[in-house]
Amino acid sequence: MSNFPKPNISFHKGSNQQEGALFSILIPTWNNLPYLKLCVQSILKNSIYKHQIVIHVNQGTDGTLEWVKQQGYDYTYSEENAGVCYAVNASATLAITNYIAYFNDDMYACPNWDGILYDAIKANGTELFYYSGTMIEFESGTNKANLSPFNFGSDIDTFNENALLDFCKHSANKQDWFGACWPPSLVHKNLWDKVGGYSETYSPGFYSDPDFAMKLWQTGVRDFKGFGKSLVYHFKCKSTGRVVRNDGRRTFMKTWGFTSSYLYKNVLRVGVPYQKNNPLTFNKGISYLISAAKSKMA
């Protein structure tokens, strides 16, 4: 269980009503104004559709709070860091559309990121989906769902926007993949409300993503899909390094009776190329029994 204190959060409707919005985009931010500005600008510049933008301002002492007010966006606010779970749940209460999209403030939305996802929604024909875009990252990593290393800047000062846009238009080559489980993510608001959003027991937020995915699985979602042409650039600002980490790994095991690594690898198959004729299943074989045994010892 998390010892993270429940924050006091205020709720504010902005003057920018964003009529005709398709998605409600939730962006938690914590004294990260230059990146937040770039994130919002990229959404406005590179989206096919209009979207509602809802920002949760943690502290905002770097000018973020004033900027958000000036822009007229809907926002929620806490004087202290509320963490991811409280932030997105508070923001979601201001959503006016049928679709909840979740962005990190250090992401740059690439052209047509939203069109790809909305085409998938229309093709699906139901509310039972959880979709993600693909992150482009500047350094190598172990996450098979990402495109890396493709360095278009390790921070905002070295960001090469033109080179990134050229890469997206001519060179980016990523298959769709199984296992959508983190931002940039998209889910129907009815599903979000049904599972109660992100579990606040994981505050400030570590391991809340697999928990949210597991709650969706329990409601009948089997379409966990990432899209190789729906791209965002991720600066990896590591604002999470400023908080004391919750023991989310243990909380997940206590909640679900198996490990989050089993969910990612064996159930959601995160990063494995998507195959329509090879649906996701929950196989309680030897690997599951080993995972369950680990959980009992947690």
- Give the start-to-end residue ranges of the domains of the chain: 10-296
From CA 220, how far away is CA 275, in angstroms rounded? 19
Report d(CA 267, CA 279) in Å as an integer: 10
Q: What is the mean pLDDT of residues 177-187?
A: 96
Q: Any idea what DSSP says for residue 266?
A: I
pLDDT band at 60 (very low <50, low <70, confident <90, very high): very high
pLDDT over 90 percentage in the chain: 92
Split at pLDDT 50, 70, 90, the class of 105 is: very high
Q: What is the pLDDT of residue 152?
A: 98
3 has pLDDT over 90: no
- Asked if residue 151 has pLDDT above 60, the reply is yes
pLDDT band at 238 (very low <50, low <70, confident <90, very high): low
Q: Which pLDDT score, from 0 to 100, does residue 244 have?
A: 77
Q: Which CATH number is associated with domain 10-296?
A: 3.90.550.10
pTM value?
Answer: 0.96
Helices (H), 20-103: 33-46, 64-71, 83-92
Q: What is the pLDDT of residue 18?
A: 82
Q: Is the pLDDT of residue 156 over 60?
A: yes
Strand ranges (E), the chain = 10-12, 23-30, 52-58, 74-78, 99-102, 107-109, 130-137, 177-178, 185-188, 224-234
The residues with which 185 forms a beta bridge, in sequence order, are: 102, 132
Choice among 16-20, 141-145, 203-207 with the minimum mean pLDDT:
16-20
